[in-house]
Amino acid sequence: MTIAWSYSSLKTFQQCPRKYYHTKVAKDVKDSDTKATLYGKSVHTAAEEYIRDGVVLPPQFAYLEPMLEQLKEIPGEKHCELRLGLTENLEPCDFFADDVWWRGIADLVIIDKEKKMAYSVDYKTSKNARYADIKQLELVATALFKHFPEVERIKSALMFVVSNEFIRAIHKPENIQLYLEKPKQDLSRLTAAFSNDVWNAISGPLCRFCPVRQCEHNKS
């Protein structure tokens, strides 16, 4: 059985297998939007429309313009909210393909065919880069190398728009196996959870915000 996963879904499983089960498998519970998630969605939409269509930024997002202008000036084909998929054999596939193994969405990808380079940017709306995790960038880079085989080098960044911080990384195709080694242990645990149909709850400080109300750790 092929278990489709993404950076964010695996993160949910790491946080709590039971939450993963109810939100991703049984789908009997939905994560509710918070002020923070709604703000994040609005930023993504504004950035996408500004870069792709030249739509003027809403006044509350005017502070983004200098950062987005820098991105617009980078030469190459620009792809906003690019959906990517990989099979278990690391073949490029459609985001919704029957045999998709990994899927992800890149906020902005720029392909410079002349230089055989790509740029990948992920917008972040948290207050600062304290908990930045470049594993997300590594997975997207892996997919980009497979979907755009002419690309030999990728520059990527987590762009923290509120604090104006950039966490940068450079990727080469020879590092793909190293990138895929990192989530292996958690993927094995995820496969075991599906095989045994065991979804243990993990208690933590975020339990009171969890949408799984029937869990014994949710005291909200």
Q: Which residues contact 163 (CB under 8 A, 6 or more apart)?
A: 127, 128, 129
pLDDT of 220: 67
- Judge contact between 108 and 114, C-beta under 8 A: no
- For the CA atoms of 9, 10, 16, 17, what is the dihedral angle to 10 degrees? 90
Q: What CATH number labels 33-181?
A: 3.90.320.10
Instruction: Report the C-alpha gap between 22 and 31 in whole angstroms.
Output: 10
Domain ranges of the chain: 1-32+183-220, 33-181
Give the angle subtended at the CA of 194 by the CAs of 189 and 198, to the nearest 5°.
80
| Interval 128-187: pLDDT, tens | 898 899 999 999 999 999 999 999 999 999 999 999 999 999 999 999 999 999 999 999
pLDDT of 202: 95
Q: What is the mean pLDDT of the chain?
A: 95
